[in-house]
Amino acid sequence: MDNIDLQILRQVMAWRDSGHAVALGTITRTWGSAPRPPGSSVAIRDDGLVAGSVSGGCIEDDLIDKAKSGALASGRPQVVRYGIDADAAHRFGLPCGGLIELVLEPVEPRTRLPELLQRLERGERVRRRLEIASGDVELELAGSADELELTATHLTTHHGPRWRLLLIGAGQLTQYLAPMAGALGYEVLVCDPREEYTVGFAAEGARLVSGMPDDAVRELRPDGHTAIIALTHDPKLDDLALMEALASPAFYVGAIGSRANQAKRKQRLTEHFDLAPETLARLHGPVGLKNGARTPPEIAVSVLAELTAVRYGYRVPEPVPVSPQAAVAAGCVA
């Protein structure tokens, strides 16, 4: 599975290779309740085909009309706004007062998209700086700051995995979690010192890291864009890694296991490592939204749903089974 940047860029290059003119649009600012966040992108081919999205479809319809008329795929980049007043907002499917600002640029050799695509396929994070007046582009390795910025002269965007997910354990659940997380824009790292799990390990989009899990956490230097999940059920591997993770700024730290195992884990972390209650409170477990998931792919979906909620600042309350029979069938109660 590919992240959205790669999907759109690959489509753009395929269209260019087949002889079509293409324009690339990037959301730079939104006001009110906009359908898509800043950084979202869309590519429009000269005959009206579209890849990506910047709205529910109405803005794309206008861009398609412009593309077919030849107004997008030539000349210099331009800044356009949709939905400035109530009439325009209604026309383009935006809430009253909503506004979307886009930078539209024709795809030409100076846009350096083939080089950007190659670097993203190597797993790099790239800062792209577009000069509005000329259309010239600079590419460089992205640093710690990754905010989109539009000034009077330049558009600066960041591409590649902005979020990192370290999975402790290379078991069956990891085989599902890794590619799903990759599709959500995570760089996925897997650490498991057990040879019986790593020999022949292959999960699309994931990279094995060597060493013990606690060492892997320290070397990763987790930041606010990092999630760490322990999946081995082995205290010798999970506990030290969790201790290091809980002491870091990682936005999510979790461990798989039942409620009883989670209680035992917290007791061990308290007794052996003297972790404070407020530190232990950061530990998510059992990981995932409580939705009755039982199979590895279902559990992977629930884990990533919880990561997404935490990432955007939401707390999802415990669900209520629709019936006692459903709860028993889902394994929620004894």
One domain, residues 13 and 110: yes
CB atoms within 10 A of CB 303: 29
One domain, residues 139 and 208: no
| C-beta separation of 59 from 27 below 8 A | no
137-176 tens-digit pLDDT: 999 988 655 678 999 999 999 887 778 999 999 999 999 9
Residue 176 falls within a domain, yes or no? yes
Contacts of residue 138, defined as CB under 8 A and 6 or more positions apart, other chains included, come to: 128, 129
CATH number at residue 199: 3.40.50.720
Q: How far apart are CA 57 and CA 75, in angstroms?
A: 25
- 110, 143, 159: which is the final residue of a domain? 159
pLDDT at 333: 43
Residue 328 falls within a domain, yes or no? no
Residue 293 falls within a domain, yes or no? yes
Residue 186 falls within a domain, yes or no? yes
Percentage helix, strand, coil, to 5, in the chain?
A: 35, 25, 40
One domain, residues 150 and 252: no
pLDDT at 82: 84
pLDDT at 144: 57
Contacts of residue 234, defined as CB under 8 A and 6 or more positions apart, other chains included, come to: none
Confidence of residue 330 (pLDDT cuts 50, 70, 90): low
One domain, residues 62 and 154: yes
One domain, residues 137 and 171: no
One domain, residues 111 and 171: no
Asked if residue 86 has pLDDT above 50, the reply is yes
- At 248, list the tokens: 């870091």
Burial class (CB in 10 A: 0-12, 13-18, 19+), 323: exposed
One domain, residues 107 and 177: no
One domain, residues 19 and 138: yes
pLDDT at 35: 62
In the chain, the percentage of residues whose pLDDT exceeds 70 is 88
Q: Mean of the per-residue pLDDT values for the chain?
A: 86
Average pLDDT over residues 120-133: 88
Asked if residue 214 has pLDDT above 50, the reply is yes
One domain, residues 53 and 137: yes
Q: How far apart are CA 224 and CA 235, in angstroms?
A: 25
Query: What's the number of domains the chain is made of?
Result: 2
One domain, residues 23 and 115: yes
Residue 334 falls within a domain, yes or no? no
Residue 16 falls within a domain, yes or no? yes
Asked if residue 178 has pLDDT above 80, the reply is yes
Asked if residue 243 has pLDDT above 50, the reply is yes
- 117, 141, 159: which is the final residue of a domain? 159
Q: How far apart are CA 154 and CA 280, in angstroms?
A: 45
Residue 319 falls within a domain, yes or no? no
Asked if residue 4 has pLDDT above 70, the reply is no
Residue 131 falls within a domain, yes or no? yes
φ/ψ of 169, rounded to 5, equals 120, 135
One domain, residues 304 and 291: yes
What's the number of CA atoms in the CB half-sphere (13 Å) around residue 102? 25
| C-beta separation of 82 from 94 below 8 A | yes
Q: Which of 3-17, 114-128, 320-334 has the lowest mean pLDDT?
A: 320-334
| C-beta separation of 104 from 98 below 8 A | no
pLDDT at 199: 87
φ/ψ of 276, rounded to 5, equals -70, 155
pLDDT at 98: 64
Burial class (CB in 10 A: 0-12, 13-18, 19+), 85: exposed
Q: Which of 60-74, 209-223, 252-266, 291-305 has the lowest mean pLDDT?
A: 60-74
pLDDT at 9: 92
Q: How far apart are CA 255 and CA 284, in angstroms?
A: 7
User: H or E stretch including 73?
Assistant: none
| C-beta separation of 42 from 53 below 8 A | yes
| C-beta separation of 36 from 57 below 8 A | no
- 126, 159, 192: which is the final residue of a domain? 159
CB atoms within 10 A of CB 326: 11
One domain, residues 114 and 231: no
pLDDT at 327: 54
Owning domain of residue 102 = 4-159
H helix intervals, 145-258: 172-183, 195-198, 213-220, 235-246
Pairing of strands 22-31, 41-45: antiparallel
